[in-house]
Amino acid sequence: MRIVVTGGAGFLGSHLVDALMDDGNELIVIDNLSTGNIANIKRHVSSQERFSFIEADLKDSHWTSHMKGVDAVFHYAANPDVRSSSVDPRKHFEENLVSTFNLLEAVRRYDIDYIVFASSSTVYGEAREIPTPESYHPLEPISIYGACKLSSENLISTYSRLYGVRSLILRYANVVGRRSTHGIIFDFIRKLKLNPRELEILGDGKQKKSYLHVDDAVSATLHLFRIMRDGYIRNDVYNVGNDDWISVREIARIVTEEMDLGDVKFVFREREPEGRGWPGDVKYMLLSITKLKGTGWSPELSSAEAVRRASKELIQGFR
Ligand SMILES: NC(=O)c1ccc[n+]([C@@H]2O[C@H](COP(=O)([O-])OP(=O)(O)OC[C@H]3O[C@@H](n4cnc5c(N)ncnc54)[C@H](O)[C@@H]3O)[C@@H](O)[C@H]2O)c1
């Protein structure tokens, strides 16, 4: 297949690119390198075989001609920083919603068959049902990032119903692993490199969330994509996460253990109500993956195993 991956030079996108290339597809990566890194896709760029990289911003429209003849789009470009979305809503609106709209217009214009969208657990807000199933209502995001993801989902579903593009919306839990440049593990390692005796933790450390290793995330994504390609999914939503969760304090313990630091003083910065890390931080997140498992897929690593493996990978790659 001829496939476009937006955000394909980023963390999750580049792992997806590797797997789609291994499957023999022809790939076009569109990325503005705002948080992505060309090094993540270096081996494909230099081989030039079945691969092209377009440095472009989805907020513009200069890239749309590259969508001609494309069979499927994996839309992974976004500003992934949940925290900054409460500080600069317009930026997030443009980067996470206007970009999606521009992409959908190109999908419509070139009559592309499939779209896969990287949505997020943040669409559920503070769910009262845990584990949270896809059918949970009302969807009340508490961050601008989550609101943009939910609005993008709505746009995609409507384009699907109106114009016939098959769509797969994936609500990921926290994805961790090598090449990641944001998120809790990366943040802890960065802080501990600066001061190995003390670790500042945002919130009360009792926040509990579900984590998935990037290899599992990519494997689930391609598993569901194949089901869509075989004609069993027309316009559907799946949670992509783990069976369990882990607290922030436990993550801090694993990271310090993997860095071999001995006793580290944890300093909790509790500035937000109810022990949250920042405005818009969902304190408890565990997605139900019953629907995903019903398709015959299960994660290889638990949340704690994913965090430990990601810590090892990130410590190794940290400069
Ligand atoms: N990592 C997670 O835990 C997680 C969880 C849920 C959802 N997601 C979603 O998965 C996707 C990938 O996230 P990630 O963690 O790999 O982040 P990332 O920052 O590594 O990747 C995002 C990529 O998009 C590119 N990009 C951003 N704005 C762009 C624009 N306007 N035009 C073109 N390219 C642009 C960036 O340069 C980067 O390469 C995002 O949509 C994110 O919201 C991630």
Determine how β-strand 265-269 pairs with β-strand 198-202: parallel
* Distance between Cα 75 and ligand 1 center (Å): 9
Q: Which CATH class is domain 183-210+243-317?
A: alpha beta
* Distance between Cα 8 and ligand 1 center (Å): 8
Q: What are 18's two structure tokens?
A: 């590797």
Residue to probe by mutation, ligand 1, list 28, 32, 99, 238, most atoms within 8 Å of CB: 32
Which residues, 6+ apart, have CB-to-CB distance to 154 below 8 Å?
A: none
* Distance between Cα 59 and ligand 1 center (Å): 14
* pLDDT attached to residue 319: 67
Question: Region 258-262: what's the mean pLDDT?
Answer: 94
Name the average pLDDT for the chain.
Answer: 96
For 187, other C-beta atoms within 10 Å of its C-beta total 15
Query: For residue 66, what are the CA distances in angstroms to 52, 89, 105, 312?
Result: 10, 30, 13, 38
Q: Is 97 in the pocket of ligand 1 (CB under 6 A)?
A: no
Query: For residue 195, what are the CA distances in angstroms to 38, 137, 191?
Result: 30, 43, 6
Identity of the amino acid at 314: L
Which residues, 6+ apart, have CB-to-CB distance to 91 below 8 Å?
A: 79, 84
Q: What percent of the chain has pLDDT over 90?
A: 91
Burial of 62 (0-12, 13-18, 19+ CB in 10 A): exposed
pLDDT of 265 above 90: yes
Task: Give per-residue pLDDT as tens, 286-315.
Answer: 999 999 999 999 999 999 999 999 999 999
Q: Is 225 in the pocket of ligand 1 (CB under 6 A)?
A: no
The label of the residue with tokens 């896709």 reads: 41
pLDDT of 18 above 70: yes
Burial of 231 (0-12, 13-18, 19+ CB in 10 A): exposed
2-175+212-240 has which fold?
Rossmann fold (3.40.50)
Which residues are known to be catalytic?
145
For 59, other C-beta atoms within 10 Å of its C-beta total 13
Q: Is 76 in the pocket of ligand 1 (CB under 6 A)?
A: yes
Residue range(s) of every CATH 3.40.50.720 domain in the chain: 2-175+212-240
Residue range(s) of every CATH 3.90.25.10 domain in the chain: 183-210+243-317
Task: Give per-residue pLDDT as tens, 27-70.
Answer: 999 999 999 999 999 999 988 789 999 999 999 988 999 999 99
* pLDDT attached to residue 49: 83
83 compared with 204, residue with greater pLDDT: 204
* Distance between Cα 76 and ligand 1 center (Å): 5
Give the closest residue to 12 by CA, choosing from 87, 83, 81, 75.
75
Dist. CA 230–CA 128, nearest whole Å: 35
Atom of ligand 1 nearest to the CA of 149: 43
* pLDDT attached to residue 243: 97
In which band, very low, low, confident or very high, does the pLDDT at 137 lie, cut at 50, 70 and 90?
Answer: very high
Task: Give per-residue pLDDT as tens, 141-179.
Answer: 999 999 999 999 999 999 999 999 999 999 999 999 999
pTM: 0.97
